[in-house]
Amino acid sequence: MRRKTLTQYLIEQQREFGNIPAELRLLIEIVSRACKTIGYNVSKGALGGVLGSAGSENVQGEIQKKLDVISNEILLEANEWGGHLAAMASEEMEQVHHIPNRYPKGEYLLLFDPLDGSSNIDVNVSIGTIFSVLRCPDGVCEATEQDFLQPGTRQVAAGYAVYGPQTVLVLSTGHGVHCFTLDREMGSWVLTQENMRIPEDTKEFAINASNSRHWYPPVKRYVDELLLGAEGPRGKDFNMRWIASMVADVHRILTRGGIFMYPADARDPSKPGKLRLMYEANPMSFLVEQAGGAATNGAQRMLEVQPTSLHERVAVFLGSKNEVERVTGYHRQD
């Protein structure tokens, strides 16, 4: 059987749906090449001198790893010159990154978390890159933060790469979710899974249980029911999985089902959650919905949340539809 590359897939999608013009295809291909470069740096590990702290903090006040900084620079440099972007925004940078004047500008906005799961870098556990693509509003000459503040329903593409035993790229342009595996010998992304689907029911959940004493009642009620297993109200046993890399946890869910939860909690009631709406929650929710799952912030559909700032945080519940609806229902009853 002839293997289909990422470029062939994108061209076929344009022919079938008319949803991937040349500029968007170029953008996706450049992001995918940047992910290959990041994956190479990740794979070098201590041999490349890329492990450990960079000795700096990002906009959220988190200590940056060397690979955080390297990955951010790779994505910026790869996407500046192509003429397909109006501007970029990164989880690692406080302000919008404008395209230098020496380069042409395009009609798209790119947002990314350059290296998700940074706490796992030094212990050789799967990490990844998450990205989201929006259209720049018409008539904008110099994109500002306000131009990025579009609900997730406005995304034209979203995806992530996982740097694990295999390097994979998972992508949606609005017509299903497809997985590409990096052929290291050929240097190309090869389509290995089409139309990924999340089962509506599951027996797996992912949550950081060390925070259980801080959970609000709806989350505690839901998880307690799962832990009671076959003897409890759910009538079946559940397994807990927690990798602490959102890309790896979500990839497992896209592959075999499950629910991922990162709720708000009582440690700081002023914070609506830990994960970032624009860089993590929206692109992952887009992919999950395209695969037949559901995603909410506990109160409403994630993709309908209207962003108010570039680095806004949000509670996240996503994955198998029936479980997401159940825990969201508990929040609405509270």
**Rounded CA gap, 196 and 121, in Å?**
27
**Rounded CA gap, 208 and 244, in Å?**
8
Which whole-number Å values give the CA distances from 124 to 102, 119, 181, 209, 298, in the listed order? 39, 10, 19, 22, 32
DSSP bridge pairs for 294:
319
Which whole-number Å values give the CA distances from 51 to 45, 180, 218, 292, 327, in the listed order? 6, 27, 39, 37, 38
Whether 280 has a binding-site annotation, put simply, is yes
- Characterize the bridge pairing of strands 259-262 and 204-206: parallel
Q: Computed over its alpha carbons, how large is the radius of gyration of the chain?
A: 19
**Rounded CA gap, 213 and 227, in Å?**
15
Contact of 303 with 289, CB cutoff 8 Å = yes
Whether 101 has a binding-site annotation, put simply, is no
**Rounded CA gap, 21 and 23, in Å?**
6
Whether 118 has a binding-site annotation, put simply, is yes
Whether 117 has a binding-site annotation, put simply, is yes
Whether 119 has a binding-site annotation, put simply, is yes
Q: Tokens 């929040």 map to which residue?
A: 331
Contact of 212 with 223, CB cutoff 8 Å = yes
Whether 116 has a binding-site annotation, put simply, is yes
3-class SS at 190? Answer: strand
Whether 309 has a binding-site annotation, put simply, is no
Whether 325 has a binding-site annotation, put simply, is no
Q: Which DSSP letter does residue 81 get? A: S
**Rounded CA gap, 36 and 310, in Å?**
26
Residues tagged in the binding site annotation for substrate: 116-119, 208, 274
Residues tagged in the binding site annotation: 91, 113, 115-119, 208, 274, 280
Residues tagged in the binding site annotation for Mg(2+): 91, 113, 115-116, 280
